[in-house]
Amino acid sequence: DAGVIQSPRHEVTEMGQEVTLRCKPISGHDYLFWYRQTMMRGLELLIYFNNNVPIDDSGMPEDRFSAKMPNASFSTLKIQPSEPRDSAVYFCASSLYRADEQFFGPGTRLTVL
């Protein structure tokens, strides 16, 4: 298996633009997690899915953030409109069981100018 795949690896955009981050989890994993990592706040869980259904989005910072998982092999995290304070590394992770080890993608480094 190729592991968790994320695209793009780097994204530079201007304030106000829409940003879409993509994730392909490991095949067979029932859980998918979106994280944000910054120096100030460390790793923050934004949202997680179980069998394509969003279970808890309490970590999503604002209504500008939305996430979808239309099928078991694809998820998106969208920011619209983007702001400079959204600049961070965004990770997608998947796991077989809820409390088990999570396998992380390489992350997307987002810079909002």
Kindly list the residues in this chain that would bind other proteins in the complex (CB under 8 A). 31, 42-43, 45, 48, 55-56, 89, 91, 93, 98-104, 106-107, 109
Closest to other proteins by CB, 9 vs 17, is: 9
Q: How far is the CB of 70 from other proteins (least distance, A)?
A: 21
Closest to other proteins by CB, 12 vs 15, is: 12
State how far the Cα of 18 lies from the Cα of 44, in Å rounded to an integer. Answer: 21
SS3 9: coil
SS3 76: strand
User: Which pair of tokens denotes residue 12?
Assistant: 């530079």
Q: How far is the CB of 104 from other proteins (least distance, A)?
A: 4
Cβ-based burial of 51 (10 A; exposed 0-12, middle 13-18, buried ≥19): exposed
Closest to other proteins by CB, 75 vs 102, is: 102
Amino acid, single-letter form, for residue 51: N
Closest to other proteins by CB, 74 vs 104, is: 104
Q: How far is the CB of 8 from other proteins (least distance, A)?
A: 14
- Residue 95 has what DSSP assignment? E
